[in-house]
Amino acid sequence: MDDGFTLLDRAEQVDISSAPAATLAEEEARLLALEAQYCSHGDTVHYTQFPKIFSGCEGSFMLDAAGNRFLDLQMWYSAVNFGYANPRLNTALKRQIDTLPQVASQYLHREKIELAAMIAQDAQRKFGAKGRVHFNVGGAQAVEDSLKLVRNAKKGKSLMFAFEGGYHGRTLGASAITSSYRYRRRFGHFGERAHFIPFPYHFRGPKGMSKEEYGHHCVQQFARLFESEYNGVWDPKVGEAEYAAFYVEPLQGTGGYVIPPPNFFSELKKVLDQHGILLVVDEIQMGFYRTGKLWSIEHFGVQPDVIVFGKAVTNGLNPLSGIWAKEELINPTVFPPGSTHSTFNANPLGTAVALEAMKMMQEEDYETMVMAKGKYFLDGLQGLKRRHRIVGEVDGLGMALRIEICEPHDSFTPSKRLVDLMCDEGMKADLEVGGKRYGLVLDIGGYYKNVITLAPALTMSYAEIDLAIELLDQLFARVAGA
């Protein structure tokens, strides 16, 4: 919708509550007291000191019980690519509830079959390889399934390569290939943790190299591991690597939406193919047109062996994830019935919404739309960089955008303190544009937790992009002067 503040105006009409402010405050205090006593703090809610309770959502906006509007620039970590309460996808969910809301996963239903076929046929057209799809519920569970697939294909090898700054989930297996030690520290020794390889993070890489030169340099450093048996990963006498696969995010997610040089993955894939190492591409956060392509790896001209997906495939309505893998890795002869299983792995509510989402993506030109909006948004962010010394770098691919916040004295030293302050200030809902007050929903990422990672709704209007730039401009000025 590009006809001005269509969604914003509609959001104003939503009657969240007619209760007096004092009553609303009392109810929120009651809920927070219950949460403090009975809810586990093991999730990410309490990364912030003052958790927010939301009561409604629509389009690009979250609403609280008092009716305050919050422009959401992270959309549930890119799980809601197509806007909150998307009418078409909501209708698909309601339709499925009234027809086949439940069916045990040992039986078939039409939506599962058609969805798998649509994903596999699309991959075959793009990558020239026949494959199959296996479903699960959450992204980390799909990563676990892919680890089983890879171990099985590589005769039990359990060691993997992954990137510094990479994130693949917090189950035990996924934690082993996620670079942050803090996700593993309290759960014992991880004997099969990945060998973590530097990602070409150009802004913080060696000075004097172009982005492409740095990408080539990083590949050459990785290739060096195979020069001699004494580098610890390769037996030249039999031509075999100790490592089964390399797990990659084409754009790093939690790592701060770091975008690699265009030559990096094609050069990396040549090294992997030379040494019999599978390429597993994690598209959980960047898939489904976040970057302007169905799969972000499409930007880099390489053929993956396995794709892991989740999040936006159902627009956040009902959990569904999955893997696509080449036929030789997943055909019934090598990956027979019972190789992996989850009670809800192909639930009909999830597959029905995902099937409708895939049809929607085929019918509408998301690639052109997302690339155009992403360029417009990035142009606005570059304007902010010119005006604010706390902005060290901005970058983006499609609607995956990053703002690296730094100390103002050099526009380079990472500033977690300023980003934390921005997130808190954004939740106050007191930023004013056109006589109306707004809040901002932001997400923090990056190696130093100093990056604002932007994953706005792909459906947001150009007027809402302008609103986002104006709100960020005010927020930057506020925290810089704090």
Supply 358's token pair.
Answer: 């895939």
Q: Which pLDDT value is given to residue 256?
A: 98
Q: How far is 160 from 281, CA to CA, in rounded Å?
A: 13
Q: Which pLDDT value is given to residue 442?
A: 98
Q: Which pLDDT value is given to residue 13?
A: 41
Place of tokens 């959502």: 57
State whether residue 100 is helix, strand or coil. Answer: coil
Architecture of the domain delimited by 366-481: Alpha-Beta Complex (3.90)
Ranges in the chain, pLDDT < 70: 1-18
Strand-strand pairing, 159-163 and 243-248 = parallel
Q: Which pLDDT value is given to residue 391?
A: 98
Q: Which pLDDT value is given to residue 18?
A: 62
Residue 135 pairs in a beta bridge with 322
Q: How far is 290 from 275, CA to CA, in rounded Å?
A: 32
Neighbours of 461 (CB within 10 A): 20
Neighbours of 167 (CB within 10 A): 24
Kindly state the DSSP code that residue 283 receives in the 8-state scheme.
Answer: -
Which of 146, 84, 107, 50 is CA-nearest to residue 426?
A: 50
Please give the model's pTM, rounded to 2 decimal places. 0.95
For residues 164 and 198, is the Cβ–Cβ distance under 8 A?
yes
Q: Residue 16's Cα: distance from chain center in Å?
A: 30
Q: Which pLDDT value is given to residue 112?
A: 98
CA distances from 206 to 98, 102, 216, 410, 481 (A): 58, 54, 13, 17, 31
For residues 78 and 285, is the Cβ–Cβ distance under 8 A?
yes
Q: Which pLDDT value is given to residue 7?
A: 43
CA distances from 285 to 9, 169, 321 (A): 29, 11, 11
57: Cβ contacts below 8 Å, ≥ 6 apart? 63, 72, 84, 85
State whether residue 412 is helix, strand or coil. Answer: coil
Which of 379, 317, 318, 304 is CA-nearest to residue 119?
A: 304
State whether residue 326 is helix, strand or coil. Answer: strand
- Domain boundaries for CATH 3.90.1150.10 within the chain: 366-481
Q: Residue 250's Cα: distance from chain center in Å?
A: 11
Q: Which CATH entry fits the domain spanning 92-363: 1.10.645.10, 3.30.300.20, 3.40.718.10, 3.40.640.10?
A: 3.40.640.10
- Domain boundaries for CATH 3.40.640.10 within the chain: 92-363
Phi first, then psi: give them for residue 356, nearest 5 degrees.
Answer: -65, -40
Question: How do residues 438-457 score in pLDDT, each as one tens digit?
Answer: 999 999 999 999 999 999 99
Question: How do residues 340-391 score in pLDDT, each as one tens digit?
Answer: 999 999 999 999 999 999 999 999 999 999 999 999 999 999 999 999 999 9
Place of tokens 């730094």: 406
